[in-house]
């Protein structure tokens, strides 16, 4: 097994993990708009009382859903960009070194933001400023290669969305 195979397997594993998390989040969010079925006790003011959900209001991650989704998308785009950079570096193209380093930093900070946003951490605001800075650096490097490499363009665009969402916490 060579380095390219390892990167492909790792990338596919990360993508599957993030995709399943996004799907679960999307499905959870879709339940909010459902109307109770006819004849059910939910929402009824007559008859027996509706069961009380002991976990109602405990969805801290929902408060930062747009940021979490932007970060997840950025991580997917960043993983693809970094894998592409490594392929180019392996082929001798050193013009992409700065991009690879910036993407690596952005991925580390985005991982931190995901965890802090999910728990509604009091450190989220400070971390969001760091995340926006890392995404600005990553976007600047990716923009240098965006015309030539679709992965860099996608990563730069995803970083833009994170910057916009993170700035809302400032």
Alpha carbon distance 4, 83 (integer Å):
9
Domain assignment of residue 48, yes or no: no
- Determine if residue 90 is left, alpha or beta; phi over 0 gives left, psi from -120 to 50 gives alpha, anything else beta: alpha
Domain assignment of residue 111, yes or no: yes
Question: Mean pLDDT across the stretch 127-154?
Answer: 96
Domain assignment of residue 113, yes or no: yes
Domain assignment of residue 125, yes or no: yes
CATH number of the domain that residue 144 is part of = 1.20.1270.360
Domain assignment of residue 47, yes or no: no
Domain assignment of residue 119, yes or no: yes
Domain assignment of residue 56, yes or no: no
Tens of pLDDT, residue by residue over 61-114, are 468 889 999 999 999 999 999 999 999 999 999 999 999 999 999 999 999 999
**Model confidence, pTM:** 0.66
Domain assignment of residue 57, yes or no: no
Tens of pLDDT, residue by residue over 35-65, are 444 444 444 445 556 666 665 555 544 688 8
- Where in the sequence is the domain holding 160, given as residue range(s)? 3-26+64-167
Q: How many domains does the chain have?
A: 1
Report pLDDT for 112: 94
Residues 6+ apart with CB under 8 A from 147: 153
Report pLDDT for 10: 55
What does the mean pLDDT of the chain come to? 79
Alpha carbon distance 134, 159 (integer Å):
9
Alpha carbon distance 41, 107 (integer Å):
46
């Amino acid at each position: 097994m060579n380095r390219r195979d390892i990167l492909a397997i790792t990338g596919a594993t990360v993508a599957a993990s993030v995709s399943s998390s996004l799907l679960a989040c999307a499905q959870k969010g879709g339940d909010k708009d459902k109307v109770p079925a006819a004849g059910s006790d939910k929402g009824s003011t007559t008859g027996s009382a509706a069961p009380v959900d002991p976990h109602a209001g405990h969805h801290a991650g929902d408060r930062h859903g747009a940021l979490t989704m932007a970060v997840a998308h950025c991580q997917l785009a960043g993983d693809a960009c970094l894998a592409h950079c490594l392929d180019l570096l392996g082929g001798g193209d050193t013009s992409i070194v700065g991009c690879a380093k910036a993407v690596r930093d952005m991925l580390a900070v985005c991982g931190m933001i995901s965890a802090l946003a999910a728990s509604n951490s009091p450190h989220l605001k400070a971390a969001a400023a760091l995340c926006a800075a890392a995404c600005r650096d990553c976007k600047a490097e990716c923009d240098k290669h965006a015309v030539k490499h679709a992965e860099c363009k996608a990563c730069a665009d995803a970083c833009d969305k994170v910057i916009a969402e993170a700035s809302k916490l400032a």
